[in-house]
Structure 1
């Protein structure tokens, strides 16, 4: 008897592939504007800020493609206004990374 369960495949998820396609069409300067704004709002006065690595770049670029720079900035401000995401929670842990804010459409729209 053979199993008919679907096999899991390795590799990027469908969402990541879609995000990658969107990211290729976005001007890198727009992504940098959103990143600089996130640094200004979430990491004020810090000398060391997290790098804009490939994973963060992909998420931000896809969000810029879907929502534009202004709404991405609104999403960052929305996260900054959330007590829970800014570390005023039971764990005293901040959940304010670019990758979290722009993970998918649900996350972006939650902060708008």
Structure 2
């Protein structure tokens, strides 16, 4: 997902294709997030709510970045915000999953 976002933001060819693949990726991420939410609600409900809010902000920032790129007014702070929120959402997801991929 992160690679598709970077390709959509930093390339000038096939941008719409990368954006569409990213949007399909949202569906996968939302689906796996629902599965994670069902399992994590009884353990860490507060952290789960924080992750949901941060994930929605991340999706909104990505869409704003796509729109700004189309208008040719994409700026560095917005790109950094997308990167930071991507990392934070991933870390929150791993924390809710009990650091499963790393433990």
Give TM-score, length-normalised by structure 2. 0.30
Which structure is larger by alpha-carbon Rg, 1 or 2? Answer: 1
Q: Name the structure where helix makes up a greater proportion of residues.
A: 2
Give TM-score, length-normalised by structure 1. 0.28
